């Protein structure tokens, strides 16, 4: 998870997820003067009525930048080019309504919301269990959260549902009649979005956490009957001061997952 903030001056390029993002962002990665002045930091995330330029996903690019859709964000490959993705861009008042609704559902914790699909296996096993623990405890360690501090863990997890402070949320959906192949395609699309954001000095955090609340989200964003939530994503500028943004996770060496058959 990123913590994401408003960008006050030059680009503070951070890496990724687990971030703190904030307002004053337009989708082309340019700080918008007017918006930055009004919302930079002080306005707080999700200020009602934040004007928003959907240029990052618009076919002609962000207004005023002259940037055209060069395609790297949307030109992910997919089997037979069926492009099984759909993106809901959430900002301003709608973002706030979504955050409020999901945060209160999370706080009620009455078990009335359940994910439509399982992101993880029901029971973890090695080597995935060890990697998961390393990532979780790495984060909690940075935040000074000890084993057993479940309230603090819950509070940290809750930040997902505030998009970690990001001004813009993305909700990705798929037609639920699609099969696993389209979910493969989807990962490529998500990666493209993240790389495109990063190329513009923005940071993202892909968020599977939202899937528990897919019914709330589907209602609020008026999903079609067959639309299924794949995941959410926070989009903004990273806060380089945030401890969670200093988490540097490594990757398993090639020898752990590459098998050469000569
Ligand atoms: C599809 C997807 C869903 C994710 N969901 C969440 C999430 O809900 N909350 C979160 O904080 N991070 C989430 N992450 C971020 C991962 O935890 C992160 O990429 C991983 O720990 C590796 O960290 P690194 O990319 O900084 O090396 C998600 C990543 C992906 C690709």
Pocket of ligand 1, beta carbon within 6 A: 1, 16-18, 135, 160, 205-209, 231, 249
Residue with the bigger pLDDT between 215 and 18: it is 215
Nearest protein CA to atom 6 of ligand 1, as residue = 207
* pLDDT tens profile 207-259: 999 999 999 999 999 999 999 999 999 999 999 899 999 999 999 999 999 99
- Picking from 229, 185, 238, the residue whose alpha carbon sits closest to that of residue 211 is 229
CA–centroid distance, residue 156 to ligand 1 (Å) = 14
Protein residue with least CA distance to atom 27, ligand 1: 249
Helix (H, G, I), strand (E, B) or coil at 173: strand
Chain segment 22-58, per-residue pLDDT in tens? 333 333 333 332 222 222 222 333 333 344 444 555 5
The rounded distance, in Å, linking the Cα atoms of 21 and 41 is 10
DSSP assignment, residue 81? G
Q: Measuring from atom 5 of ligand 1, which residue has the nearest CA?
A: 207
For the chain, domains (ranges, CATH) are 3-117+159-249 (3.40.109.10)
């Amino acid at each position: 998870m990123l913590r994401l903030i408003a960008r006050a001056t030059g680009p503070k390029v951070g890496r990724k997820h687990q971030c703190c993002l904030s307002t004053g962002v337009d989708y082309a990665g340019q700080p918008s003067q007017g918006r930055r002045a009004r919302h930079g930091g002080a306005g707080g995330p999700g200020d009602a009525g934040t004007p928003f330029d959907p240029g990052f996903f618009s076919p002609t690019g962000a207004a005023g930048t002259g940037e055209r859709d060069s395609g790297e964000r949307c030109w992910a490959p997919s089997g037979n080019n069926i492009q099984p993705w759909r993106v809901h861009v959430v900002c301003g008042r709608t973002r706030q309504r979504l955050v409020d609704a999901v945060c209160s559902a999370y706080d009620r914790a009455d078990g009335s919301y359940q994910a439509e699909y399982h992101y993880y296996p029901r029971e973890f096993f090695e080597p995935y269990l060890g990697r998961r623990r390393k990532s979780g405890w790495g984060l909690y360690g940075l935040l000074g959260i000890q084993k057993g501090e479940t309230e603090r863990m819950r509070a940290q997890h809750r930040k997902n549902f505030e998009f970690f402070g990001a001004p813009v949320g993305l909700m990705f959906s798929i037609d639920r009649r699609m099969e696993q192949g389209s979910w493969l395609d989807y990962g490529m699309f998500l990666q493209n979005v993240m790389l495109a954001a990063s190329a513009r000095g923005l940071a993202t955090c892909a968020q599977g956490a939202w899937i528990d609340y897919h019914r709330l989200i589907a209602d609020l964003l008026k999903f079609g009957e067959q639309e299924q939530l794949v995941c959410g994503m926070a989009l903004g500028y990273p806060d380089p001061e945030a401890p969670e943004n200093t988490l540097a996770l490594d990757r398993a060496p090639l020898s752990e997952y590459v098998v050469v058959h000569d």
